[in-house]
Copies of this chain bind each other. A is one copy, B any other.
Amino acid sequence: MIVTDEDFKVIDSAIEDVRKSGTKIRKTFAAYNESEGYDIAWEVSAAVEAFSSFSSRWSIEILSTLYIAGDRRFNEMRKLLTGISSRTLSDKLTHCAELGLVNRIVDEGPPIRVRYQLTEHGRNAGRLLSPLVAYMKIQKGRVVKEK
């Protein structure tokens, strides 16, 4: 057995997430259409920026990792995103924070620790990305198991 039941669970839950998110996104949009005053300026600009930033290296892995694994610290991210340099991770996390996709949370210590968390908008993106990532993770998993 190469693809496990565990793998199927991952993809199933990802698909279920997408189904749920459809309803939620429709509700959000409906609310937006009805209330003219609802301030979504930042949200909109973040989304547009995000669409471009998705196209650059690592952004997808960062968002989907935070979505799947939950809040993570800097060095934890480095381990999960195999191959990223600390310089690039630092830059990308700053960029995602500027776009409003990710919150940088300092847990006052001691010891002081920094935690990265998806915002509402980041979770939307992560949720929609997750089926792709689940599929790719399984493909990756296959190769590792075969070696």
Contacts and interface: CB of A to CB of B under 8 A. Distances in A.
Chain A interface, DSSP helix/strand/loop, else mixed: helix
B26 A22 contact: no
A33 B139 contact: no
Contacts of A59: 55
B143 A33 contact: no
Contacts of A71: none
Interface stretch (A10-18, A93-101, A102-110, A112-120): A10-18
A55 B47 contact: no
Given A15-B19, A128-B131, A138 B54 contact: no
Copies of this chain present: 2
B55 A60 contact: yes
Contacts of A132: 54, 125, 128-129, 132
Interface of A: 1-3, 7-8, 11-12, 15, 18-19, 21-22, 25-26, 29-30, 32-33, 44-45, 47-48, 50-51, 54-61, 124-125, 128-129, 131-132, 135-136, 138-140, 142-143, 146
Given A55-B57, A55-B58, A55-B60, 12 more contacts: A7-B29, A8-B29, A15-B18, A15-B19, A21-B131, A44-B142, A47-B136, A125-B132, A125-B135, A128-B131, A128-B135, A132-B132
